Amino acid sequence: MSATIADTIYENLRQQIITGDLNAGEKLRQDHIAKAFETSHVPVREALLRLEGHGLAKSEPRRGMRVAVLDPAEVREVVEMRVVLEPLALQHSVQNMTPGDVKRVDEARIACDEAQTMPDWETRNRVFHRALLTPCGMPRLLHTIDDLHIASARHLFAHWRPKWKQRVDKDHLAIVQALKHKDLAAATTILIRHIRRAS
């Protein structure tokens, strides 16, 4: 399915919010956004509603739509949801994994380690986690986890960007090694530790 203008606006604004290029509390003006993307207000409204649905924007009476403030309680909730849902997806994923799937996870791991900037690393990190969990074959669960990764990404940028540096992710490597040995218990333990450590 081809991307719509609303998809393009949503992806663009989402990335700016996640990376902090749009600050918490900053007003998201429909007219300015429509002008920037040379479109009408309809796709802009659709994109803003999607941002709100993902907790990245908030509509306030008489103040319009603004970038949502980072809430520590929400960050804790996201972490607790991830440490339950991702191991669930991993359990089903490992059962279904082919050697080709394991190869794709390892390739995503290597690409993540080779990222030169934090925005590039964050995108590749999500690709790694998605490759790890996609074989579970549970689209609703994967969709929920994708949403949680978007929320996590904003927190990561806010707290880790000043000290980010290119490195080999030892947790990712250990997870891949556990997959190659079909050791679900080890992979799950490492994944949970990895989620809590990153957060």
Question: Could you write out the DSSP letters of every residue in 116-147?
Answer: SSHHHHHHHHHHHHHHHHGGG--HHHHHHHHH
Evaluate if residue 20 carries a pLDDT over 80: yes
Evaluate if residue 185 carries a pLDDT over 90: yes
Q: Give the pLDDT score at 162.
A: 74
CATH, range 5-67: 1.10.10.10
* Fold category of 72-198 in CATH: Four Helix Bundle (Hemerythrin (Met), subunit A) (1.20.120)
Give span(s): CATH 1.10.10.10, the chain.
5-67
Q: Give the pLDDT score at 54.
A: 85
Specify the amino acid at residue 65.
M
pTM for the structure as a whole: 0.84
CA angle in degrees (0–180, nearest 5) for 142-66-122: 40
Mean pLDDT of the chain: 92
pLDDT band at 1 (very low <50, low <70, confident <90, very high): very low
